[in-house]
Amino acid sequence: MQRRFALLALTGSALGWLPLSAWAQTEGLRELETFLSGVQQGRAAFTQTVTAPLRDGEAVARTRTSRGEFEFLRPDRFRFRYTQPFEQVIVADGQTLWLYDPDLHQVTARRQADVLANTPAALLAAAPDLRAVRQAFTLSAGESRDGLQWVEAVPKARDGQVQRIRIGFRQGQLEVLDILDSFGQRSVMRFGPLDRSTQFTAANFRFQPPAGAEVLRQ
């Protein structure tokens, strides 16, 4: 279940969402715009905590934590490489979204344009500017907390797997991605410092299914 949710989460809600002054609203959206227009590529480590909704009789929600590395090159290429507690790779090469599960020795391939339009991955790694984001999301600013400026993005399409996304920035740097899916599961991704020293090219995001792996095309 955790394996498949990695893709759902990419493809929150203790933070307060309150009416703010016009300045605060502008500030939060300015952070997002700065990131979209000013950061064209990069690499960062991340920790992802997935919390399932409470079931009948449960007193404590079930959680799972994963770790890995995120790389991207705008406008439409990225890679999420999970390393703990199990390996998993999600790659967008500009045309196809690949999901590789080494334990199952299985690759799932889907047309990128069909699955990423209203997802967190598309918002962070594909959108070139705030105007493009507004075509797919309704944006609003959240209360500034813990030194972070927050923006909430709600997909305009109501038939997707994501209810809402909250993005936390610190001085223009992406720090937190808080995702609530349509099943009530919450995924919080915390990113380390963004390394922009590597000059990525499209070739860095090519994916070749490993020899012998089962390839499922959807």
Helix, strand or coil, per DSSP, at residue 75: coil
Per the CB < 8 A criterion, the answer to whether 109 and 4 are in contact is no
Position 205 in a domain: no
What is the C-alpha separation between 191 and 171, in angstroms, rounded?
14
Sign of CA dihedral 152, 156, 158, 162: negative
Position 111 in a domain: yes
Closest of 18, 29, 67, 43 to residue 150, by C-alpha: 29
Amino acid at 118: N
Q: How many domains does the chain have?
A: 1
Position 204 in a domain: no
Position 95 in a domain: yes
Position 199 in a domain: no
Cβ density class 92-118: b for 16+ within 10 Å, e for less: bbeeebbbbbeeeeebbbbebeebbbb
Position 202 in a domain: no
CA end-to-end span of the chain, whole Å?
19
Closest of 194, 183, 188 to residue 150, by C-alpha: 188
**Owning domain of residue 171:** 2-53+61-194+211-217
Preceding peptide of 120 cis, ω within 30°: no
What is the C-alpha separation between 191 and 31, in angstroms, rounded?
16
Q: Residue 98 carries which DSSP code? A: E
Position 206 in a domain: no
- Neighbouring residues of 16: CB distance < 8 A, sequence distance ≥ 6: 142, 143, 145
Q: Which residues pair with 190 in a beta bridge?
A: 47, 176
Q: Give pLDDT, residue 17.
A: 35
CATH assignment at residue 122: 2.50.20.10
Q: Which residue in this structure is represented by tokens 């045309």?
A: 95
Position 201 in a domain: no
- Is the model's pTM score more than 0.75? yes
Q: Which two tokens stand for residue 170?
A: 């610190």
Sign of CA dihedral 42, 153, 175, 143: positive
Q: Residue 21 carries which DSSP code? A: -
Query: Residues in the chain with pLDDT < 50?
Result: 1-8, 11-24
